[in-house]
Amino acid sequence: MALSEHTRLELREIIARYPQPRSALLPMLHLVQSEEGYVTSEGITLCAEELGLTQAEVGAVATFYTMYRRKPAGTYHVGVCTNTLCAVLGGDAILSGLKDHLGIGHNETTEDGRLSLEHIECNAACDYAPVVMVNWEFYDNQTPGSARDLVDACREGNPPPPTRGASSLCTFREMSRVLAGFPDGRGSEGVQAGAPTLVGLEIAKSRGDVAPPMPDAPATSER
């Protein structure tokens, strides 16, 4: 799939948001990923041309961050947290079960292109461990059985709503476009912060805790 001239124009729209053009590279990579399902050599070349960088410089960024795929991702990209807390509470068993169930391993995609699988070091949701993400949306408090049901529903094209965040699940390409800075209007949907996340805040309120006052800002001299 060739990247279109429209893609180039949208890349320039992203660049215009930043005082330093090079700062636009991360969302630019998300945009080309939204077009082709992964960051292709063509996408790297296009980003390099627009930013005046070498392909090696752009490629180094695309290979450093794990959210950029270097081969086609599935319509639904499944990430299983295997960091300490999730692993202890069942994350390792969930990942192992999904590998067997789908017949693929880490960073692999099913033959039908519907699902890809990745082990994630941390989904930043320890209060809901073990956590699975699909296209970077949260599915909390998972078990090996519920995770199998989740991927089966995704394969059938009827995924359940995420536990938190948007009230429906978009595709991997659609999410990549959102991460490029083109909102889809779903940002305020669903549960934003669940009860486990707010426990500390509620305890602080019940004790009457308040944050210390901010120090006065230092005076600045006019030039």
Give the CATH architecture of domain 5-64: Orthogonal Bundle (1.10)
Going by C-beta distance under 8 Å and a sequence separation of 6 or more, which residues neighbour residue 191? 163, 164, 165
Closest listed residue to residue 66, CA positions, set 107, 25, 113:
107
pLDDT at 193: 77
Give the CATH architecture of domain 76-170: 3-Layer(aba) Sandwich (3.40)
Q: Tell me the domain boundaries of the chain.
A: 5-64, 76-170
Q: Report how far residue 222's alpha carbon sits from residue 135's, in angstroms, rounded to the nearest whole number.
A: 49
pLDDT at 192: 74
8 Å CB contact between 101 and 132: no
pLDDT at 4: 85
pLDDT tens for the chain, 223 residues long, are: 568 889 999 999 999 999 999 999 999 999 999 999 999 999 999 999 999 999 999 999 999 999 999 999 999 999 999 999 999 999 999 999 999 999 999 999 999 999 999 999 888 899 999 999 999 999 999 999 999 999 999 999 999 999 988 889 999 999 999 999 999 888 777 777 778 888 888 899 999 998 888 887 666 655 4
User: Is the peptide bond preceding residue 161 cis, with omega within 30 degrees of 0?
Assistant: no
**Which tokens in the block code for residue 165?**
């965040």
Q: Report how far residue 27's alpha carbon sits from residue 178's, in angstroms, rounded to the nearest whole number.
A: 9
- pTM over the 0.75 mark: yes
